[in-house]
Structure 1
């Protein structure tokens, strides 16, 4: 599963659940099915696994299991905003909250969180990765740092999802630094339009090709992508999927 910050909760209005009744039902189901919940205290640098112990509709609160690390519990209590991610019936659930406090549940220490006013529910389709054309590749136009010339270079996409893209760096000019951001990246999606966003490198894999040359695949996620740009990405993925299905149907 991709990290929660692959998503940017403020950018997923189309998948937002704001009904109090539905939020309570979803969180209770997560607890009843003993689904593990990732609690991100300070992003991916500080993560613990918890579970939903109870959802109290009368007090609008969610009771969570504590971390086994006492120092981490202190960071959770002091944290300004905590992010959570889990899944329910193969649907990804994301939410966040403020002001975690100490409480007890069934005579054991626990944590209490105010019932979130909304959460994000993403079915697998939203993060479905679609391979992009190889013959006439879509390119991500990235401005190089000044130490690398400051020019704009196009990198072919390997695949695309609503969470991000994978690009191929066959000249190994970008390096493999995880976490680096490239701002103002332009991606021209055929028949859809141009998407501009910030990319953050999340993983790097060096590939050895049949001719013994090395290519580098960089997995990147969108940072603060606008709702309009995100909608264009979704339309392009749908377009690619339709074209693939048409090819498959033509072979039958």
Structure 2
């Protein structure tokens, strides 16, 4: 399954959020005209299919898009109350969420229809592309707290600008704006650690489907060398390439 990391509310800057029925419909109608592909993620990200947008209508408040090629996938998708669309039209990351779909006939073929999303996130090209890291043999982040305590976290997602990490126990003293001066981690198959300082950008409490509490901590790299940024870019490209080969 291809899993392009989806941004949390705490990570989204308002300048990247497009709101209002007409602006949202205009943007999505443009993607429909260009036949841009989107991955549709549902069942808490456990399932996905590829689709293209067919029409976006501000007056009727609706979005129409292609069904998947699998009747079973379509059946499970129609039972879900919420799903996420993720795409990269023109190389720019675009993401939005929609409510429950129903099936209609559009242009003589079956299609899905949902209420128009309230907003669309469209990152500028200068922003860092972020991916979820593999769950098997996950990356581990190590940092030193101001009181010299060791911080050890499992990396959830990564970009050349920073990481998102998870922990089931909230570390004492972790708060937005905190600077961790001595941090390091290594990429799979890489024998050399990356050393840097990091700033805590957000701390969010989440709940898993099993009801387990965890904390998502966003960390920004402050002084990562250019060479290490290149290594991360190559790692991201490798992970995405391997995931696309599984589709």
Q: Partner of 1:194 in structure 2?
A: 178
Separation in structure 1 between the aligned mates of residue 5 and residue 129 of structure 2, nearest angstrom: 17
CA distance in structure 1 between the partners assigned to 2:77 and 2:35 by the alignment: 21
Equivalent pairs counted in the alignment come to: 186
Aligned to 2:40: 39
- Larger helix share, 1 or 2: 1
How do 1:23-172 residues align onto structure 2 when only pairs under 5 Å count?
A: 23-127=24-128, 140=143, 152-153=150-151, 161=160, 164=163
Question: Could you tell me the TM-score, scaled by structure 1's length?
Answer: 0.58
Q: Calculate the TM-score normalised by the size of structure 2.
A: 0.59
Q: What do residues 194-233 of structure 1 show as CA deviations (whole Å, max 9, x unaligned)?
A: 169xxxxxx9613245xxxxx69xxxxx99746xx86x84
Asked whether the equivalents of residues 141 and 186 of structure 1 are also in contact (C-alpha less than 8 Å), the reply is no
SS in 2 for 1:89: helix
3-state SS, counterpart of residue 72 of structure 2: helix
Distance, in Å, in 1 between the alignment partners of 2:179 and 2:80 is: 34
CA 57–161 in structure 1, closer or farther in 2 if over 3 Å, else same: same
Q: Equivalent residue for 2:189?
A: 206
RMSD value, Cα: 4.2
Aligned counterparts of 2:127 and 2:169: Cα–Cα separation in 1: 23
The answer as to whether partners of 1:95 and 1:116 remain within 8 angstroms in 2 is: yes
Shift of 1:74: 1.1
**Change over 3 Å in CA distance of 1:164–1:50 after alignment to 2:** same
Tell me, yes or no, if the aligned pair for 1:9 and 1:120 is still in contact at 8 Å: no
CA deviation after TM superposition for structure 1 residue 162, in Å:
5.6
List alignment gaps of at least 5 residues for structure 2. Answer: 131-140, 181-185, 195-199, 205-216, 227-247
1:44 positional shift: 3.6
| In structure 2, distance between residues paired with 1:39 and 1:104 | 19
**Cα-to-partner distance string for 1:218-252 (whole Å, 9 max, x where unaligned):** xxxx99746xx86x84xx66xx59x97xxxxxxxx
2-structure distance, mates of 1:97, 1:223: 27
Q: Who is 1:169 aligned against?
A: none
Return closer, same or farther for 1:195/1:128 CA change in 2, 3 Å cut-off. farther
Q: Which ranges of structure 1 fall in alignment gaps of 5 or more residues?
A: 130-137, 143-150, 167-179, 197-202, 210-214, 217-221, 245-252
Partner-residue secondary structure (3-state), 2:68: coil
CA contact (8 A) 2:32 2:53 kept: yes
